[in-house]
Amino acid sequence: MSALTDRLDACRAEGRAALVGYLPVGYPEVETSIAAMRVLVEAGCDIVEVGPPYSDPVLDGPVIQHAAARALEGGVTVDDAFVAVRAVAEAGAVPVVMSYANLMLQRGWTRFAADLKAAGGAGVITPDLTPDAAPEWVAAAREVGVDTIFLVAPSTTRERMQLTCDASTGFVYATPLMGVTGERTSVGDAAQRVVAGARDAGAERVCIGVGVSTGEQAAEIAGFADGVIVGTAFVRALGDEGDLERLRAKVAELAAGVRSAR
């Protein structure tokens, strides 16, 4: 058990899915980005994904790519991400980091895991890393009690689905397609199929990122997943202006959607 599993199970006990919100550190600048993460918690997010910006975010859509580029231009660092993690934990949500593997490798697997744990972080989502590609990361995370969260998609083979679900702790991150992220006008059947596939492979908790941008979509996903992951819609709401009230309204809308699917 971990802080992540405890929070997801608590939401399940309430008869609902968790709302998981993502924001990049340093957008539009560091201080506002951390304030924005506190807004996520205040407005209804149960878990917050802290995103250290990366120079080549190949799996992120244009909205998050723009935010990452602006953050890097402003001089954001990985250390700023750990400050954000601490702020999220103090605000009452469970913080995780969503990071490209090269950032972690440059810091060192062991140091990254230890620094995250010291800041109050519960786990790391690695969108470009598979469990068999970095056993050193899995070992370092296990050593300090940090959850390793890997991705599955409809294209994931049965063998690899089993491997990924076995190596994932906290939750399994399901995505309806392997490609760039971003808002979508409809959820589609693939989302439900990939969640079912992960459950068949033994995953006890599955959260899904599918480009949710409305309360209605959030309610639909909450009907079959343990957590609804939202990134682009929140980044867009925050915007270059750092509009915390617009962000708060969007989070409240999606939190209400998740909770309506009891």
Give the DSSP per-residue string, 185-226.
Answer: S---HHHHHHHHHHHHTT-S-EEEES---SHHHHHHHHTT-S
Instruction: Outline where DSSP puts E strands in the chain.
Output: 18-24, 47-51, 94-98, 123-125, 147-149, 151-152, 172-174, 206-209, 227-230
CA distance 157 to 83: 38
The side-by-side arrangement of strands in the sheet containing 18-24 is 147-149, 123-125, 94-98, 47-51, 18-24, 227-230, 206-209, 172-174, 151-152
60 included as an active-site residue:
yes
226 included as an active-site residue:
no
Q: Give the global pTM.
A: 0.94
CA distance 220 to 224: 8
CATH superfamily of this structure's domain 3-260: Aldolase class I (3.20.20.70)
CA distance 222 to 230: 12
Residue in 162, 167, 158 with CA at minimum distance from that of residue 132: 167
What is the CA angle 176-180-183, rounded to 5?
70
Catalytic residue among 49, 183, 220, 253: 49
pLDDT 10s per residue in the chain (262 long)? 899 999 999 999 999 999 999 999 999 999 999 999 999 999 999 999 999 988 776 667 899 999 999 999 999 999 999 999 999 999 999 999 999 999 999 999 999 999 999 999 999 999 999 999 989 999 999 999 999 999 999 999 999 999 999 999 999 999 986 444 444 445 568 899 999 999 999 999 999 998 899 999 999 999 999 999 999 999 999 999 999 999 999 999 999 999 997 6
Catalytic residue among 46, 60, 220, 253: 60
Question: 49, 20 in Cβ contact below 8 A?
Answer: yes
